Amino acid sequence: MNKRLFIAVPVEGRTKNLLKQNISKAQKSLDYNLKWVSGENLHLTLKFLGDTNPEIIPEIKTTLSNTCSPFKKLNLFYNQFGSFPSTDYPKVLFFGLNGDINRLKKLQSSIDNSLTNLGFDKENREYTPHLTFARTRKSTDISKLKNDYNKFINNNDLRIYQKVNQVSLIESKLYKSGPVYEEIFYINLT
């Protein structure tokens, strides 16, 4: 049976706690029937693999090891609130980043390119580093959310540090209560 996989930078410790505090603040301000990401599931996605044959997991691990081993640790800052496709039409709410963004994009691009050898499609849009914390539902009133989210952005500063020292291969198990993520493999950055 296939496994639903993705590659990500985990968020841990103090960084996770500070992000969870900001999510709680957003939940109190934005009561629009949003689908909130569980604080335990916070991660910075590098590549979504989707349903994957478990037989190629050893090759994915080898590819990740070879691709990530030359990369050094990164320093990132969650420094803004944002949304896709725009703050005028907020469908996905996220924490934006700065810091070693060019190096993070290079890491993501290397992973993306190396996995094409295993049959995974290359991303067809530019990688925009972000950490999703909420998504709208069909019943969400986007026009009202837009106004309140823009007020929230203007009234809340954000500067949360994260050291990126590993890349993880994660399995997403879907349940009615929400997804549960299980790390299957990780590679340390030097």
DSSP states along 125-146: S----EEEEEE--TT--HHHHH
43 is catalytic: yes
Which of 34, 49, 83, 130 is flagged as catalytic? 130
CB 149 within 8 A of CB 30: yes
Q: Angle at Cα 22 formed by Cα 17 and Cα 28, nearest 5°?
A: 125
Which of 15, 23, 43, 93 is flagged as catalytic? 43
Phi, psi of 34 (to 5 degrees): -85, 160
Q: Which residues are catalytic?
A: 43, 130
